[in-house]
Copies of this chain bind each other. A is one copy, B any other.
Amino acid sequence: MSANEKYKTSQDLFERAVKVIPGGIYGSKSPGFTVPGEFPYFFTEGEGCRVKDADGNSYIDYLCGFGSMILGFGNSVVDDPAVVQLRKGDLLNCPSPVFVELAERLCKLIDGMGWSVFAKNGSDATTLAVTMSRVHTGKRRVLMAKGAYHGSANWCSANEYPVLDDRDYVHTFPYGDEEALKELFDRYRDEIACIILTPYHHPTYTDQVLPQHTWYPLVESLCEKEHALFIMDDIRANFRLSLHGSHHYFNAHPHLVTMGKSLANGYPIAALMGTPELKKAASSLFITGTFWTSSVPMVAAMHCLKAMEEWDVQNHMNQMGKMLKDGLKSAAEAEGLKVNLSGPDAIPFMTFPDDPNLYHNQIFSAAMARRGVYLHPHHNWFLSYAHKTEDIEETIDKAGDSFKEVKRHFSK
């Protein structure tokens, strides 16, 4: 079946979409971010580690709703109590008791954190963290790594237009470059409010980078010297490295931690947590949102946390991720191809050498999609608790044929 036939419903829907939605599908879910014409654009359902697109094609999924579905799609351990709460009431005039219970639970669970506020988008949490840092320190400048993603707010998004001044005090450095970081702290002495970092570097379109062992000690000593706050943006990696926050895994000690995505297995909630010392500063801000106290996502988070704790999900995802990485490497080698698997085992990404535009990735991902495996060509992948040995085996099996296609394509 040709790609046009296989994805016909997706493409028909997209044709309708462009008439009433700017770009048809905007942002990170845009067809242009995958391989246009060779990927599904619309999905209808998910179960475990499998998703179904609008044409009825099924995929073993390694995007997990951009990392959110850490227990897998349609997990009844989360969905059953969420539906019970939905029937009682999601958005009431004030929070429900679960608002307090979730904050209490997170404060016990997340290393070093003494309070929590809840919002919807990851961007709400990162923007609040930066705002709070500025207000608390009385300083303006923000440091972040080049290519790091901290959300879609103007201060950190791809919307760089001269008429927007949100980035005027935001400065970037190459991830892990200690000299560059020291130089920025030197240049803006007494002016730096905060540095915001992801636990490790997971830029799009390229290999992932783990922090060298001297990285966090340096970041922390520079922050201490300059009375700047250290924000750990754990939205993407959260709970795949450690149940106690990715900073625990890397032995880092941030002042503020942002979470979202996997916190409630896909229910819309984000959290900003902070050290006890910063609670007063947090109270001085007006923090609000109509949906920010809704209880369904909080009930989902409580049950997601419970399941993660009881099932040792980090260990399972790491095992499955390791198996996937090793299997892909072997399958590539069997075809005489080299691949680079980067990032933590539970959040891997694959590139081919000498392929800066990721053409090989696109051919490979399109071939895998045709065979029923969803591996994003440009964005890191995610394992979930729902991925089992047989899913990984099936994936590796299909990768063999897909590597063959890559080889054929580039030897023409």
A54 to B369, CA, bound (A): 49
Q: Which of A145-191 contact B (CB under 8 A)?
A: 152-154, 157-159, 161, 163-166, 168-169
Q: Scoring A residues 50 to 77 as 1 if CB is less than 8 Å from chain B, else 0, what string do you get?
A: 0101100000010101111100011000
- Is A237 among interface residues, defined by CB-CB distance under 8 A? no
A123 to B154, CA, bound (A): 13
Pick the most buried of A73, A83, A106, A285: most chain B CB atoms within 10 A of its CB: A285
A27 to B19, CA, bound (A): 38
- Is A140 among interface residues, defined by CB-CB distance under 8 A? yes
Contact B66 A290 (CB under 8 A): yes
A291 to B121, CA, bound (A): 7
Q: Which of A124-140 contact B (CB under 8 A)?
A: 124, 127, 131, 134-135, 137-140
A217 to B88, CA, bound (A): 45
Contact partner of A154 (CB less than 8 A), chosen from B17, B121, B131, B294, is B131
Contact A25 B94 (CB under 8 A): yes
Contact A94 B29 (CB under 8 A): yes
- Is A114 among interface residues, defined by CB-CB distance under 8 A? yes
The size class of the interface chain A forms with chain B is 35 or more
Pick the most buried of A44, A69, A127: most chain B CB atoms within 10 A of its CB: A44
Given the known inter-chain contacts A27-B292, A65-B93, A93-B61, please indicate yes or no for A286 contacting B159, CB distance below 8 A: yes
- Is A107 among interface residues, defined by CB-CB distance under 8 A? yes
Contacts of A290 on B, CB cut-off 8 Å?
65-68, 121-122, 260-261
- Smallest CB gap from A133: residue in B: B163
- Smallest CB gap from A25: residue in B: B95
Contact B122 A135 (CB under 8 A): no
- Is A22 among interface residues, defined by CB-CB distance under 8 A? yes
Contacts of A83 on B, CB cut-off 8 Å?
83, 86-87
Contact B279 A291 (CB under 8 A): no
Contact partner of A40 (CB less than 8 A), chosen from B54, B90, B94, B134, is B94
